[in-house]
């Protein structure tokens, strides 16, 4: 299928949106936030309500955003992506030239999956995982003393760490008794050392995740961990698992107890619902807990195909983001979860969003003349209220906010203090912050004046469960993909991370050469790398 890929600024709806952006909806105007507005500006699905009455939009803007979605063919592009169209490419230039099928990892229970081959491969890996977990539970897989494994070290970096770690922390409440996961990602040796000190290695599995089997940081950390097992008199082959590409250097039964496969059509930052997250989450939550996560993600993926933006949660988030970024000129977006369980979710989104849409050329290899991905940042509330909210409320930069909240706590362990429970205090703060940003406050004292008219969206669900975590993850993944389609950029490669790796390897050659020969000169001492290392005190 040939897709009609046009730059954002060539779509006719842009002219209408530019005109509307000259006089956006004024949230701080008296009477601007009535009951009817709040009840009308809601988009619901897969257990989530997206409340956007505190965005600077009215029905005219929403109609124009609908036209933008239609003219870009964004939902059509999403559908053919799910079916297996090659979307990871730059036409006319060398590129990865791959399909994008992370959605196939969660439509495995559908009668008619969008891509039979990819879904079949995901089913095979899921079946392998189910058998492995059953063998653990039945005592068929134990340590050399016949004891059950209680801990797992998950070794990965980037997409092999951020998403899985965020989900594990988010769902700790449903973790199986006697199961715990620790994470090692940073090549800083102190990261590995700190984790290893607190574990009984005899009862620990190690899950090493690298698609290529050659990721330098991951392989370095793996060898650090292997050496710890050897020093403890343990056979690493009875403890180590691999999640890697089929046929990679890590696909080696002599070194790993079990191997699970990931495929080149799933990018690292979109891989949490593949075996990249599945092995660790299956160990921690159990097979059924991981399946619940997949089902939530699949339900949101289906909603993402809806053409009506008012009934498509990820698309409405994407379009509101484009309205704020491209037409109102707001450069950043803060994602602020009012849930301590989501403490690392914004960190995952930083990679997923900024690595995907931090691009300056379109899918035809030409420079774009408009802003693409925004800077994304944030921390959980209410802690953030005592840190950076001052800038959000009274700073010179307007920062659109996406608040995430839940009506009920995960543990149901709460107490009544001064007439309210803690969860009510948490949610009162969430809603109050959204309203305060919108309405502001007049004062004769300029230091106590709040301009208001600062946009936000509230994303609310009943309780954070595996199903809703899957839906939330898929909602943001689809939002990011939609924005990339509308900007006509490739959201699925990451060339920007490669240059630093190349230069790092050249610098490592200096270290290695000097260790082998004290007189090693390597590149000219006048070279950029040599000079920088000398200045940093590393020579």
Residues 394 and 521 in one domain: no
- The pLDDT tens digits for 86-104 are 999 999 999 999 999 999 9
Does a structural domain hold residue 2?
no
Mean pLDDT for all residues in the chain: 94
Does a structural domain hold residue 250?
yes
Determine the Cα–Cα distance for residues 353 and 269; give it in Å rounded to an integer: 9
pLDDT number for residue 1: 44
Does a structural domain hold residue 153?
yes
Among residues 457, 466, 415, the alpha carbon closest in space to that of 434 is found at: 457
Residues 249 and 151 in one domain: yes
User: 514 falls in which pLDDT band (50, 70, 90)?
Assistant: low
User: 163 falls in which pLDDT band (50, 70, 90)?
Assistant: very high
Residues 187 and 333 in one domain: no
The CATH number that applies at residue 409 is 3.40.50.10490
Does a structural domain hold residue 3?
no
Mean of the pLDDT values across residues 517-528?
Answer: 62
Determine the Cα–Cα distance for residues 160 and 271; give it in Å rounded to an integer: 7
Q: pTM (2 decimals)?
A: 0.95
The dihedral over CA atoms of 280, 283, 286, 287, expressed in degrees to the nearest 10, equals 60
pLDDT number for residue 533: 65
At residue 524, does pLDDT exceed 90?
no
At residue 302, does pLDDT exceed 80?
yes
Sign of CA dihedral 21, 22, 26, 32: negative
Domain containing residue 514: 496-535
At residue 110, does pLDDT exceed 80?
yes
- The pLDDT tens digits for 27-83 are 999 999 999 999 999 999 999 999 999 999 999 999 999 999 999 999 999 999 999
Mean of the pLDDT values across residues 137-148?
Answer: 97
Q: What Å distances lie between residue 471 and 83, 158, 193, 432, CA to CA?
A: 20, 21, 35, 25
Tokens 């007049």, located at residue: 442
Determine the Cα–Cα distance for residues 139 and 56; give it in Å rounded to an integer: 58
Residue 23 burial (CB count, 10 A): 7
Determine the Cα–Cα distance for residues 299 and 424; give it in Å rounded to an integer: 29
Residues 172 and 277 in one domain: yes
- Name the pairing type of β-strands 151-155 and 180-184: parallel
> Per the structure, how many domains does the chain have?
3
Does a structural domain hold residue 326?
yes
Mean of the pLDDT values across residues 181-201?
Answer: 96
Residues 375 and 520 in one domain: no
Residues 332 and 453 in one domain: yes
pLDDT number for residue 262: 96
CB 178 within 8 A of CB 203: no
Positions annotated as catalytic residues are: 355, 386, 501
Residues 46 and 188 in one domain: no
């Amino acid at each position: 299928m040939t897709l009609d890929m046009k730059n954002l600024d060539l779509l006719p709806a842009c002219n209408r949106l530019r005109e509307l952006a000259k006089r956006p909806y004024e949230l701080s105007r008296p009477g601007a936030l009535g009951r009817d507005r709040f009840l009308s500006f809601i988009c619901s699905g897969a257990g989530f309500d997206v409340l956007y009455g505190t965005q600077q939009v009215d029905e005219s803007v929403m109609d124009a955003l609908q036209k933008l979605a239609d003219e870009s063919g964004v939902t059509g592009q999403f559908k053919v992506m799910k079916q297996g169209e090659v979307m990871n490419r730059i036409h006319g230039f060398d590129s990865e030239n791959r399909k994008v099928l992370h959605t196939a990892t969660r439509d495995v229970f559908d009668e008619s999956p969008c891509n039979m081959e990819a879904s079949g491969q995901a089913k095979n890996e899921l079946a392998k995982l189910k058998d492995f977990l059953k063998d653990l539970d039945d005592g068929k897989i134990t340590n050399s003393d016949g004891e059950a494994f209680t801990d797992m070290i998950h070794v990965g970096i980037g997409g092999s760490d951020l998403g899985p770690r965020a989900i594990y922390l988010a769902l700790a409440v449903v973790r199986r008794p006697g199961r715990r996961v620790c994470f090692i990602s940073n090549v800083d040796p102190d990261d590995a050392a700190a984790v290893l000190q607190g574990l009984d290695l005899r009862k620990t599995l190690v899950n090493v995740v690298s698609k290529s089997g050659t990721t330098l940081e991951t392989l370095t950390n793996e060898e650090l961990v292997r050496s710890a097992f050897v020093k403890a008199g343990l056979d690493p082959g009875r403890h180590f698992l691999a999640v890697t590409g089929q046929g990679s250097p890590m696909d080696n039964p002599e070194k790993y107890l079990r191997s699970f496969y990931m495929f080149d059509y799933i990018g690292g930052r979109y891989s949490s619902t593949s075996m990249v997250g599945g092995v660790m989450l299956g160990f921690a939550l159990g097979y059924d807990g991981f399946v619940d996560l997949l089902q939530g993600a699949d339900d949101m993926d289906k909603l993402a195909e809806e053409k009506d933006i008012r009934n498509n949660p990820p698309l409405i988030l994407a379009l509101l983001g484009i309205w704020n970024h491209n037409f109102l000129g707001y450069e950043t977006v803060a994602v602020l979860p009012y849930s301590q369980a989501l403490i690392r979710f914004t960190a995952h989104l930083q990679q997923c969003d900024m690595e995907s849409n931090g691009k300056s050329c379109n899918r035809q290899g030409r420079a774009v003349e408009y802003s693409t991905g925004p800077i994304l940042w944030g921390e959980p509330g209410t802690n953030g209220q005592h840190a950076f909210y001052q800038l959000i409320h009274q700073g010179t930069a307007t920062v659109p906010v996406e608040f995430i909240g839940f009506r009920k706590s995960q543990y149901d362990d709460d107490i009544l203090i001064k007439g309210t429970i803690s969860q009510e205090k948490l949610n009162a703060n969430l809603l109050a912050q959204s309203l305060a940003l919108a309405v502001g406050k007049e004062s004769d004292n300029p230091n106590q004046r709040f301009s208001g008219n600062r946009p936000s969206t509230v994303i609310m669900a009943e309780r954070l469960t595996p199903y809703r975590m899957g839906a939330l993850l898929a909602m943001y993944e689809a939002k990011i993909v939609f924005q990339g389609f509308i900007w006509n950029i490739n959201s699925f490669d990451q060339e920007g991370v490669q240059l630093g790796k190349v230069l790092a390897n050249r610098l490592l050659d200096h270290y290695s050469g000097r260790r082998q020969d004290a007189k090693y000169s390597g590149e000219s001492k006048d070279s950029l790398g040599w000079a920088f290392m000398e200045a940093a005190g590393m020579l």
